[in-house]
Homo-oligomer: A and B are copies of this chain.
Amino acid sequence: MSDTWLNKVNWCADGLVPVVTQDVTSNKVLMVAWMNPEALRLTVQTGEAHYWSRSRKKLWHKGEESGHVQKVKEIRLDCDEDVLLLVVEQVGGVACHTGRYHCFFKKLEQGQWLVTEPVIKNPEEIYGQR
């Protein structure tokens, strides 16, 4: 497979693009992360979501520690070709490192960000004592 599809993406100056990841079953937006070309290539090759961790400055196979991998069902690109959308099956039902189903668990209500989602699995149980 040639890399034409990879070069079609308008990688930003820092070599990354934002990625929205959505659950194929619930349609909830699970998280937003970042990819570089290698992360996208690995995602396509393996069928599991790979991102670029901006904090750790390295490739990140989502679920590599937790087992909560994301099996990719669809990869989409937006009109400006600088944002990706992954539609995935979220293994383990936990996408967020806080142990919640998804990362968008704070909702603005009357000028306050209220936590609306429960912790499904304790992070210490997911990642072990750190």
Binding site for B on A (CB under 8 A): 1-2, 4-5, 8, 18, 20, 22, 27-29, 31-32, 44, 74-81, 83, 85, 96-98, 100, 103-108, 111-113
Shortest distance from the beta carbon of A68 to any chain B beta carbon, whole Å: 14
Report how many copies the assembly holds: 2
Shortest distance from the beta carbon of A70 to any chain B beta carbon, whole Å: 15
Task: Report B-chain residues with C-beta under 8 Å of the C-beta of A31.
Answer: 78
- Chain A contact residues, majority secondary structure: mixed
Contact of A5 among B98, B104, B113 (CB under 8 A): B113
Task: Report B-chain residues with C-beta under 8 Å of the C-beta of A106.
Answer: 76-78, 81
Task: Report B-chain residues with C-beta under 8 Å of the C-beta of A75.
Answer: 107-108
Task: Report B-chain residues with C-beta under 8 Å of the C-beta of A8.
Answer: 113
Known A20-B20, A29-B22; contact A96-B111, beta-carbon cutoff 8 A: no
